[in-house]
Amino acid sequence: MGIIRHYNEGWARGFRHGIRYWEIWNEPENRPNMWSGTDEDYYRLYATAARRIKTRFPRLMVGGPSTGSIGEVKDGRLHPTAFLKGFTEYCKRHGAPLDFFSWHTYSADPHIFALRARAVRRYLDEHGYKNTESHLNEWNYLPDNDWRPIGVGGQGVTRQRWYARQGGAPGAAFLACALIHLQDSPVDVANYYRGDANPFGLFNWHGVPKKTYHAMRAFRMLLATPLRVKASGGREGHLAVCAGTSKSRMAATVLIANFRHPTRTLDLRIASVPWQGEARWELLRLDSGKDLTPIRSGRSSGGQIDLEVRCPAPCVVVVKVSK
């Protein structure tokens, strides 16, 4: 209780941050790195803490278990680990609140997050947790699905190259592709790990932005035109496209992420521009040599824009259109 009071109520020379979501522990199934007790020990800790928090702070959202392993997904269904199955059953049996269910995934497939999000939602709904939010609160690119380069045995150049891929052009294309796929998935929160100068983060030790930072910039450009419109031509896990217009319908953005599709050039058609008269467009590219750099621009009329877009993998392209 003291931690919440300190950060939300100013107790003990604290703060008033108004933090709404409170998660209990981190990856308790990851033993002995994150937890030294049994499954039952964690279940009891969670239930006791969650009930106490909701009693004292009923408006806060409490959840967990921030599991790093949810199990296998087959044919759209989640086959949970024994830990996860035991956790949800314990919460149900003991009346422990579960406002949000949190889970982690690292992968070399940018589409797996959306696949797992649908399976997690289905699992929660079928087990009586229809009002429980789904939080993918750790995700990132895992080159070759291999943790060994950053483990005890992975040192020197091998580790350096692994991080260079994660934070470089491959990681940037992966990030943008994953974010686009997540737009059609039933996940309430998705937290990229991480946003700081940690080796997994968006900046290096000197505070210089990595390629992944610029992929976030690209997605932010898409968010500036939040009214989504139909976009086709993507391929799950390889090539993704998303588009939207501004609320005023006087601007549009197209985001393309080529993570591993063999094509080098795309034929892009922006049909039915939502205003009369001339349209101005600008193309920006993010790859191994460019940091979301403007490449070319032009003007078009007639309500349609046709562009040949060079985008060899790994690459991210943004096309901005305005009146």
Q: How far apart are CA 166 and CA 174, in angstroms?
A: 9
At 269 the pLDDT is: 96
- Is 166 found in the same domain as 292? no
The predicted pLDDT at position 101 comes to 98
Do 283 and 161 belong together in one domain?
Answer: no
Q: Which of 223, 248, 268 is the last residue of a domain?
A: 223
Q: Is the dihedral of CA 37, 42, 48, 54 positive or negative?
A: positive
Together in a domain, 26 and 139: yes
Query: What are the distances in angstroms from CA 59 to CA 22, 143, 178, 204?
Result: 11, 40, 32, 38
Residue 114 sits in the same domain as residue 136? yes
Q: Are 212 and 167 in contact (CB under 8 A)?
A: yes
CB-CB contact of 20 with 53 (8 Å): no
Place of tokens 């947790």: 129
Residue 236 structural domain: 227-322
Co-location of 106 and 186 in the same domain: yes
Of 202, 223, 244, the residue that ends a domain is 223
Burial class from Cβ neighbours inside 10 Å (0-12, 13-18, 19+) for residue 156 reads: exposed
Please state, in angstroms and rounded to a whole number, the distance separating the CA atoms of residues 89 and 71: 16
Verify that 51 and 177 share a domain, yes or no.
yes
Which residue, 223, 257, 287, sits at the end of a domain?
Answer: 223
> Is residue 217 domain-shared with residue 249, that is, in the same domain?
no
Q: Where are the alpha helices (DSSP H) in the chain?
A: 2-8, 39-56, 82-94, 112-126, 156-167, 169-182, 211-223
- Answer yes or no: do 201 and 234 share one domain: no
Nearest Cα to Cα of residue 5 among 53, 41, 50: 53
pLDDT tens by residue, the chain, 323 residues: 899 999 999 999 999 999 999 999 999 999 999 999 999 999 999 999 999 999 999 999 999 999 999 999 999 999 999 999 999 999 999 999 999 999 999 999 999 999 999 999 999 999 999 999 999 999 999 999 999 999 988 989 999 999 999 999 999 999 999 999 999 999 999 999 999 999 999 999 999 999 999 999 999 999 999 999 999 999 999 999 999 999 999 999 999 999 999 999 999 999 989 888 899 999 999 999 999 999 999 999 888 999 999 999 999 999 999 99
What token pair was written down for 115?
A: 């696949």
Alpha-carbon span 316 to 167, nearest angstrom: 14
Same domain, 152 and 301: no
Q: Which residue has the tokens 């109520």?
A: 9
Q: Are strands 305-310 and 239-245 parallel, antiparallel or unpaired?
A: unpaired
Domain identity same for 85 and 122? yes
The strand ranges marked E within the chain are 21-23, 61-67, 71-74, 77-80, 100-107, 133-141, 189-192, 227-229, 239-245, 251-258, 265-270, 279-286, 291-300, 305-310, 315-322
Chain centre to alpha carbon of residue 149: 23
Distances (CA, A) of 174 to 69, 72, 109, 141, 265: 21, 22, 8, 7, 18
Q: Specify the pLDDT at position 276.
A: 87
Report the CATH number that the domain containing residue 103 is assigned in CATH: 3.20.20.80
Q: Are residues 133 and 162 in the same domain?
A: yes
CATH number, position 288: 2.60.40.1180
Same structural domain, 270 and 191: no
Give the residue from 116, 140, 141, 121 showing the smallest Cα distance to 132. 121
Closest residue by Cα to residue 103 from 136, 139, 63, 141 = 136
Q: Count the domains in the chain.
A: 2
